[in-house]
Amino acid sequence: MATEILKLTTEIVVSHASMTELTPDQLVEEIKSVYNVLASLEGGVILEERAEAKAEAGMVKKPPIPLKDIVKAKYVVCLECGKKLKILKTHLRKAHGLMPKEYFQRFGLDPKKYPLVCREYSEQRSAMAKNRRFGERGTHHKATS
């Protein structure tokens, strides 16, 4: 029966991993998690939520680096994995399955103090918008027929 559970675990994890980017650690956790769920279902046991997970849900995680080092001119640091990126929003969604609001709550951050875009990139985009006169009154051009 254990081999059947292993086969099912493999199929589920392969299917999920083909659609989602997973680090080696995440892959191992995924395998363990799926196997444990299938094994518990085999025995007719309903899994209860771990007390540790319950505590984690309401608890703010301590950032692994000092908050002053999160936002720099050329990069923003992801507090989940430590990667340095220009834009954090897409990375959070794809790599960690987090929405920005969840990310800020998880680490107890103020979105106004800790943006998800580095300063340099933000300034480039701002300058580009100003050069194109976005947001100025009277610059809306009517479509010509």
What are the pLDDT digits (tens) for 41-70? 766 544 444 434 444 555 678 777 888 888
Structure token pair of residue 89? 């929003």
Average pLDDT of the segment spanning 16-38: 82
Task: Tell me: pLDDT of 126 over 80.
Answer: yes
Q: Model confidence over 131-141: pLDDT tens digits? A: 998 878 766 65
Residues 6+ apart with CB under 8 A from 6: 35
Structure token pair of residue 56? 């984690």
Please work out, in degrees rounded to the nearest 5, the angle formed at the alpha carbon of residue 100 by the alpha carbons of 30 and 57.
Answer: 55
pTM for the structure as a whole: 0.53
Delimit the domains of the chain by residue range: 2-47, 61-131
Residue 92 has a pLDDT of 92
Residue 143 has a pLDDT of 52
State the fold for domain 61-131: Arc Repressor Mutant, subunit A (1.10.10)
| The residue type at 7 | K
Residue 129 has a pLDDT of 92
Task: Tell me: pLDDT of 97 over 70.
Answer: yes
Residues 6+ apart with CB under 8 A from 112: none
User: d(Cα 76, Cα 102) in Å, to the nearest integer?
Assistant: 17
